[in-house]
Each structure stands twice: as C-alpha cells, then as structure tokens.
C-alpha cells in the first residue's frame, strides 16, 4: 500500500509505503488543491483510515485500488473540525481492517471521512442528496454520517447537518457499497427551536424494493428509533429517506443531524467470529 500527500499540481510532497498498514507523519502546510492519495489497495476490502489527527479514524469499504481524499478549504471546511488540516505537522494512516472490526454489530452508516458528491468515489458508506441548502458545506448530506451529534444549534461544525433548502421533495440516499443486514435505524433531527421546525413523518426506501412509512414527533436530543420486524432487512445496499412531512409550525427549517443504521455485514451471524 502507498500513502501520498500531493499538492495542487499533483506533485508528491510526502509519502510512505507498507504491506498491511501505512503510517505517514510529515511537516508542511496544506494549501488549496492538496489531496491524500491511497493506492495499491485491494478492491472490495475494508480499511481503517485516518486522514488527519483532528478527525476520527474511519472503518470504510473501498472498491477501487486507488482512492483520493480532497483536503477541504475555505467554506468547504466549515463542516469539519476547525483544528483539522491546520498547522505544520500532520499524521495520516491506512491499515487493513481486522476480522473483529468488520464482523461486529455496529453503526453501518458511520463515515467521518465521507466527501461531497463524486469526490467520495470508491469509498463507502457515502451519503448524497438531491438538495442541500444553498449548496453550503454546513448543510451537506455527508454531515449526517460523520458521527457528530450536536442538534441544539445549526451552522458550522459541530452543528453541521443535512439541510433541505425548504424543499418538500428533498431526499437523502445512504449507499453502503455492498450488502448489509440491518436491524435498527436512528434519526437525530435538528432541534434548534424556535429557529427549526421538525418532521412528523417520512418514508424509507430500501434497495430490495420495500418501503416503510414512519411517524416522528418534536424531539430535542433523543433519536427517533425505528426497529422491529419491519426494519430487519437483509442484503440491503442502499437506503433513501424521502417524503419528509414538515410540522405545521412557523419555522420553515427542518433538518437532519445524523442517521445511524445498526446491523452487520450480510452473511455474518451474531455468533460468528470470522469472515
């Protein structure tokens, strides 16, 4: 495996290589156009990736032999921790995931290093949406799977969320990149009242063709939890959240802080300890 930092002209400014794991510590300052390139990977495998000391390590499923992480700058960084990608010393790593990392019951939606749009190509899970408020990073779909839950305000990190720009046809799609078996979905809706509104209902569309209509109420920090036989789905590759019904209140601003999807990789039973 090979881990590189490249500048805006695609010149390598720092690099490291290894077999099953690579660690890269380097001194320098990021500038617009910098990327982190991970190559020599085995497609359709799980990796644990850290792109910065200021971001949590992510367990991701990678489908290509080379993937790229684009360093966010300016407005594009407002959905990330302010300490990330700053200063003159940086630490990155990638390593092949262990069996225990993959086989466990976990939040299958979590991906702190998800990127906007096609920048995330080849790395899963990935969140996308047909609308994001004013195209701003603080309201991008990726914010809903970054693992940060701070619903009592809105705006820059840690209060970033998925904003729907007042569009009743807004929909968020969560792509796992492979088949998973799910048992429970949690939605943390933003609750910066009275600025915010909330949803009273929504529909989940699953990749197997099934649909589940749910009801919601006004919440602050507690999640809306959907579980039971209706939400035990096997072999799911994608979930779409749509048909969002806004409450009849004065605010036009409902939003989603986080979606969590709990389950296992398809074909992994509760008592199985190896892939």
The per-residue pLDDT for range 96-123, each reduced to its tens digit, is: 999 999 999 999 999 999 999 888 899 9
Structural domains in the chain, CATH included, are 2-101 (no CATH), 105-265 (2.60.120.260)
How confident is the model at residue 119, as a pLDDT?
Answer: 86
How confident is the model at residue 269, as a pLDDT?
Answer: 57
- What pTM did the predictor assign? 0.94
The DSSP secondary structure of the chain, one letter per residue, reads -EEEEE-TTS-EEEEEE-SSEEEEEEE----TT-EEEEES--SSEEEEEES-TTS--EEEEE-SS-EEEEPP-GGGGTTS-TTTT-SSEEEEEEEEPPHHHHHS-EETT--TT--SGGGGTTEESEEEES--GGG-GGG-GGGGGSS---TTS-SSTTS--EE-TT-TT--EEEEEEEEEEEEEEEEEE---TTT---EEEEEEEETTS-EEEEE----SSSPEEEESGGG-EEEEEEEEEEEEEE-SSS----EEEEEEEEEEETT--TT----
Q: Which residues of the chain have pLDDT under 70?
A: 269-275
How confident is the model at residue 267, as a pLDDT?
Answer: 82
């Amino acid at each position: 495996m090979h881990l590189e930092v490249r500048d805006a002209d695609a010149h390598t400014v720092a690099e490291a290589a290894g077999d099953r794991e690579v660690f890269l510590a380097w001194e320098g300052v990021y500038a617009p156009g910098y990327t982190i390139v991970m190559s020599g990977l085995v497609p359709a495998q799980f990796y644990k990736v850290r792109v910065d000391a200021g971001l949590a390590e992510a367990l991701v499923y990678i489908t290509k032999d080379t993937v790229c992480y684009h360093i966010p700058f300016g407005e594009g960084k407002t959905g990330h921790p302010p300490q990330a990608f700053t200063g003159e010393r940086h630490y990155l790593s990638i390593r092949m995931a262990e069996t225990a990392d993959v086989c466990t019951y976990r939040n299958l939606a979590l991906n702190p290093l998800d990127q906007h749009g096609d920048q995330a190509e080849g790395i899963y899970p990935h969140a996308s949406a047909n609308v994001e408020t004013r195209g701003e990073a603080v309201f991008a779909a990726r914010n809903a799977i970054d693992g940060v839950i701070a619903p009592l305000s809105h705006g820059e990190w840690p209060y970033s969320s998925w904003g729907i720009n007042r569009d009743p046809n807004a929909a968020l799609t969560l792509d796992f990149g492979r088949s998973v078996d799910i048992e429970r979905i949690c939605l943390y809706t933003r609750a910066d009242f009275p600025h915010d509104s909330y949803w009273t209902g929504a529909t989940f569309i699953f990749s197997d063709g099934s649909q589940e209509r749910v009801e919601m109420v006004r919440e602050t920090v507690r999640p809306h939890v959907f579980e039971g036989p209706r939400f035990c789905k096997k072999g799911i590759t994608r979930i779409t959240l749509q048909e969002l019904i806004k409450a009849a209140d004065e605010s036009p601003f409902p939003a989603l802080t986080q979606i969590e999807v709990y389950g296992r990789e398809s074909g992994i039973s509760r008592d199985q300890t190896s892939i």
